[in-house]
Structure 1
Amino acid sequence: MSVKRVRYYLFLRDILTLSLTAFGGPQAFLAMLLDRMVKARNYITEEELWELNALCNMLPGPSSTQLVSAIGFRVGGPNLAYLALLVWIIPATLIMTAAAAVIYFLEENTPGALNFAKFIQPMAIGFIIYAAQKTISKMIQTTEAMVLVLISTFVSFFYSSPYVFPILLIIGGLSTSIKYKKQPKLEKDQPLVIQWSNFYLWGGVLAFAAILGASTKYQPVILFENFYRNGSLIFGGGQVLVPYLYTEFVDFKHFLNSEEFLTGYAISQGVPGPTFSFSSYVGAFSMKEFGLMGFLTGGLIAAAGIFLPGIFMIFFVIRFWDQLKKYRPVRAALEGINAVSCGMLIAAAYLLFEPLEANLLNIFMILGTYSLLQFTKIASPWIIIGGIFSGILFNYFF
């Protein structure tokens, strides 16, 4: 076996290890990447890792998955990048798809079986509030950005249509890009040269899926288009995915109810790998009427739809990123896009709380979950397991 093939094999084995052990969110994931990909294997330098991470955070789509693929691209080109993508997403995708099937089976065959999730649902809101607080503290630095957060929160709450979100993102980006003169000038040492093939691929798949879905009304195609469109619009990581999916699949299409959605989101917090794998849970529920194969098909279609746009975009931008990041309007627009994403997240937390009974126990679980995440080092999976056992004990004794 050649040295190159051995290196590629080791790289994919490392990605598989990460996909099975990467608990704790983006910060823990970055620490694991630094330890394994930089210090242990020397696939890339530490400076390259932080640069690629910044690029992925500035693009729509799943940033951790884009980062894995970008490293694979640097190590072995597009083929290794796509293999790394599959190895990274498949374990979490299958786990969340199976979770959807089990939850639905329990609902249908054992009345009251979901009582174990009694506390899981308010705990999921605690996770979202914590994510919103962390995101806002990191991304919101100016008064103008905070105003955009408030406006987008208001609009997202009262007009929770999936078609409103992209408009808000565009308006947010344009509103801050006009302040580009506040950004420091960077010397452009060479002209911007763009290879458009992956951009055309991204747009072509989006247009083709929309046209095919509208003409055939075939649910798997429509489902792929729904997730592909959402994956093309989401800035800010997995937590920002929540308002998009809730609005489209719970409020508008009623493929699952609020209780099922919150239970799945909480379970996803205890699963290693990409947080966007929650989409597979929603996709599986969206095809529940087709039986077990429907769950599997829906989960895989959702994964393909949600992950592909971000991968096409990272492959498109990475080739000319060094030149693009020197343009001030591009850097200025990100402030508005991130602010709008934060507003959507705040609105999502409230919209998800609405269906719950507003009692002291639910409020205590929300605040308790947030406090554990904020003030302790207890890992998310242990918090979820604790919530499940608490629900079981509560139903047994009360």
Structure 2
Amino acid sequence: MDETPPPYRALEVFQAFLIQGLTAFGGPVAHLSYFRREFVERRAWLSEAAFADLLALAQFLPGPASSQLGMAIGLRRAGFSGLLAAWVGFTLPAATAMIAIAYAAPSLTELLGKGFLHGLQIAVAAVVLQALVAMARALAVGPIRSGIAIGAAGGLLIAHGPVAQIMALGAGVVFGLAFLREPAPVEPDDPATRKVPIPVSIAALAAFAVLLGLLPVLARVLNDPTLDLAAIFYRAGALVFGGGHVVLPLLQSEIVEHGWLDQDSFLSGYGVVQALPGPLFSFAGFVGAAQQVAPSGWRGGLTALVAIFLPGLLLVLGVLPFWDRLKTVPAARAALAGINAAVVGVLAAALWNPVLTTAIQRPSDWALAAGAFVFLAVARLPAWLVVLGFAAAIGVFSR
């Protein structure tokens, strides 16, 4: 029986998710298993079927799936304060570390040398390849889905930039609606899955849409780099389907190609976040703190973090009351299946450019990247160990 008084539940949620933020290594897929073990089996905050239902919601929405699942669990446990407590607790450790690393990044490069950064980039290539293989097996099965993925990848190898990526996702929607049929989901056995009043939900959806359209306009009209930074990260958070790894191509096309941060620093920061617990979206803290166009440091890092997580938070609030009805609509499920297949292609294109084109500097690097992939996919070593091991080894042997 639950004996925690309601006024203390938000603190309880924060403490529980802070532990996850300090210990949940392995990326989004691993986070889901950690959450299930902690909140279904150990704490019994929700039933198995209710957990599966909230997981389906998180996977349906754009944004960081594990963080949104955590938000939904926190919301269900302690209302709006529980949602915020879950997000802050889970994100705080990695976000703090990534902002701190951004401050130290120039010194680290000088101290450890380019070999260390090269090792990070090779490990990133293996991590992204592993994510691509896992996503393809789950989301691009069959001739139609694989065709959508191949088409998206081919198109993005020809046309670059955020507009091309949005068009690839839009094409996934069109082909999904036209050709895909998805089975109806299983209903949860726990009815207590909603705590959001309809007016609050509608306001959240309206805020999501208004910010998506208004932030870039305000940034241009006011010529404000901070608003521009917020608009970039908000757009990335609003358009990321398929998990944290997909944020790499979306941010690369916005940040690196427009001169906010150089390619080596960008990929090195992405390599470092693989070695930390917590959400991969914490990478935003590094980019926001390290970039040199808008005010940087902790202010830029905090701006980027809030902006990239805010769309997911608003969508959880906005969609949760309508989820039971929405998930039964065949067109919605088909559109999501098409987007997810296109996301596989988006990540495949990013694996080639910028990941492999940056990491592979000589023929032997192909063997190193293949070795890192074997350690991840065959030996099943944790990503943080492979990332740190390759960075250290290549850094030492390249001196």
TM-score normalised by length of structure 2: 0.91
1:78-135 deviations in Å (ceiling 9; x for gaps): 121112212221221111111122113444xx38734322311111111111110000
Number of the residue aligned with 2:225: 219
Q: 2:350 & 2:184 partners in 1: Cα distance?
A: 37
Q: 1:140 & 1:392 partners in 2: Cα distance?
A: 37
Number of the residue aligned with 2:31: 29
Q: CA deviation at 1:169?
A: 1.1
Instruction: Tell me if the contact between 2:113 and 2:395 (Cα under 8 Å) persists in the aligned partners.
Output: no
Between 377-386 and 241-250, the greater mean CA deviation after superposition: 377-386
1:339 aligns with 2:345: no
SS at structure 1 position matched to 2:160 = coil
Q: CA deviation at 1:28?
A: 2.2
* Aligned ranges 1:22-61 → 2 under 5 Å: 22-61=24-63
Q: 2:18 & 2:284 partners in 1: Cα distance?
A: 20
Number of the residue aligned with 1:163: 163
CA change 1:179–1:118 in 2 (3 A) is closer
Q: 2:276 & 2:206 partners in 1: Cα distance?
A: 34
Unaligned 5+ segments in structure 2 are 188-197
Q: 1:375 & 1:106 partners in 2: Cα distance?
A: 31
SS at structure 1 position matched to 2:162 = coil
Number of the residue aligned with 1:128: 128
1:279 aligns with 2:281: no
Q: 1:165 & 1:232 partners in 2: Cα distance?
A: 13
1:118-174 deviations in Å (ceiling 9; x for gaps): 311111111111110000001112211111111110111111111121222122112
Q: 1:168 & 1:106 partners in 2: Cα distance?
A: 37
Q: 2:4 & 2:370 partners in 1: Cα distance?
A: 55
SS at structure 1 position matched to 2:321 = coil
SS at structure 2 position matched to 1:178 = helix
1:255 aligns with 2:255: no
CA change 1:355–1:78 in 2 (3 A) is same
1:214-241 deviations in Å (ceiling 9; x for gaps): 1111111100001101111110001111
1:251-300 deviations in Å (ceiling 9; x for gaps): 2x12222211221111110011001111221222223785xxx2211111
SS at structure 2 position matched to 1:44 = coil
Q: 1:391 & 1:183 partners in 2: Cα distance?
A: 46
CA change 1:114–1:183 in 2 (3 A) is closer
Q: 2:261 & 2:186 partners in 1: Cα distance?
A: 52
Q: Percent identity?
A: 28
Q: Could you tell me which of 56, 66, 69 is aligned with 1:67?
A: 69
Q: CA deviation at 1:327?
A: 0.8
1:308-363 deviations in Å (ceiling 9; x for gaps): 00110111111110011111111111121011100010110110222345423311
Which residue identity lines up with residue 59 of structure 2 in the other structure? N
Unaligned 5+ segments in structure 1 are none
Q: CA deviation at 1:44?
A: 0.9
1:192-220 deviations in Å (ceiling 9; x for gaps): x8952211011122233222201111111
Which residue identity lines up with residue 124 of structure 1 in the other structure? V
Q: Could you tell me which of 88, 113, 127 is aligned with 1:86?
A: 88
1:366 aligns with 2:369: yes
Between 81-90 and 148-157, the greater mean CA deviation after superposition: 81-90
Q: 1:388 & 1:187 partners in 2: Cα distance?
A: 44
SS at structure 2 position matched to 1:141 = coil
Number of the residue aligned with 1:178: 178
Q: Could you tell me which of 380, 383, 386 is aligned with 1:383?
A: 386
1:354 aligns with 2:362: no
Which residue identity lines up with residue 395 of structure 1 in the other structure? S
Instruction: Tell me if the contact between 2:9 and 2:82 (Cα under 8 Å) persists in the aligned partners.
Output: no
Q: 1:275 & 1:111 partners in 2: Cα distance?
A: 26
Q: 2:111 & 2:70 partners in 1: Cα distance?
A: 42
Between 265-274 and 350-359, the greater mean CA deviation after superposition: 350-359
1:13 aligns with 2:19: no
Q: 2:384 & 2:275 partners in 1: Cα distance?
A: 4
Instruction: Tell me if the contact between 2:28 and 2:279 (Cα under 8 Å) persists in the aligned partners.
Output: no
1:236 aligns with 2:242: yes
Q: 2:118 & 2:170 partners in 1: Cα distance?
A: 39
Instruction: Tell me if the contact between 2:148 and 2:175 (Cα under 8 Å) persists in the aligned partners.
Output: no
Q: 1:276 & 1:258 partners in 2: Cα distance?
A: 18
SS at structure 2 position matched to 1:355 = helix
Give the root-mean-square deviation of aligned CA atoms.
2.2
Which residue identity lines up with residue 283 of structure 2 in the other structure? F
1:1-38 deviations in Å (ceiling 9; x for gaps): 97223443222211000001000123321221122111
CA change 1:389–1:214 in 2 (3 A) is same
CA change 1:212–1:387 in 2 (3 A) is same
1:359-394 deviations in Å (ceiling 9; x for gaps): 233112211111111111321111122113202320
Number of the residue aligned with 1:328: 330
TM-score normalised by length of structure 1: 0.91
* Aligned ranges 1:136-147 → 2 under 5 Å: 136-147=136-147
CA change 1:376–1:111 in 2 (3 A) is closer
Which residue identity lines up with residue 385 of structure 1 in the other structure? L
Which residue identity lines up with residue 132 of structure 1 in the other structure? L
1:393 aligns with 2:388: no
When the two structures are aligned, how many residues end up with a matched partner? 385
Number of the residue aligned with 1:298: 300
Which residue identity lines up with residue 145 of structure 2 in the other structure? A
Q: 1:152 & 1:307 partners in 2: Cα distance?
A: 26
Q: 1:304 & 1:365 partners in 2: Cα distance?
A: 36
